[in-house]
Copies of this chain bind each other. A is one copy, B any other.
Amino acid sequence: MGATKTDHFTPRQNQLATLAKALGHPARIAIMDYLLKVDTCICGDIVNELPLAQPTISQHLKELKNAGLIKGNVEGNAICYCIDETALEVMQSYFTNISEGMLAKKSKCC
């Protein structure tokens, strides 16, 4: 995303877009699914789980991490990737707010 483009929008809008964008690829949804399913989470496991090469998965993990959706701790010579709840709460409250807003409107339109 270009540096100047985000200037036109609020920080909140940019953050939501960044989080949504990070989830906007089936492989990254699959990674989130897997991180939620297993207890110990190592990138190597994910490579065996998804139909993608290791560098590709590493890059997807990087994007999820940059967006704040996951965090990674060095654990021996592997890395333990985990879901970061903070970012998810942002998304969750976004959709909750929309639902509440829709209820408030109640068919004023369309």
Q: A-side interface residues toward B, CB under 8 Å?
A: 5-6, 8-10, 13-14, 16-18, 20-30, 32-33, 36, 39-41, 50-52, 71, 73, 80, 82-83, 85, 88-89, 91-92, 95-96, 98-99, 101-102, 105, 108-110
Contacts and interface: CB of A to CB of B under 8 A. Distances in A.
A6 B20 CA distance: 18
A94 B93 CA distance: 12
A18 B5 CA distance: 22
Contacts of A13: 26, 29-30, 33
Contacts of A33: 13
B41 A109 contact: yes
Nearest to A72: B110
Given A95-B91, A102-B85, A110-B80, A17 B26 contact: yes
12 contacts: A5-B26, A8-B51, A9-B27, A17-B24, A17-B28, A20-B21, A20-B29, A80-B110, A83-B102, A88-B102, A91-B95, A95-B95
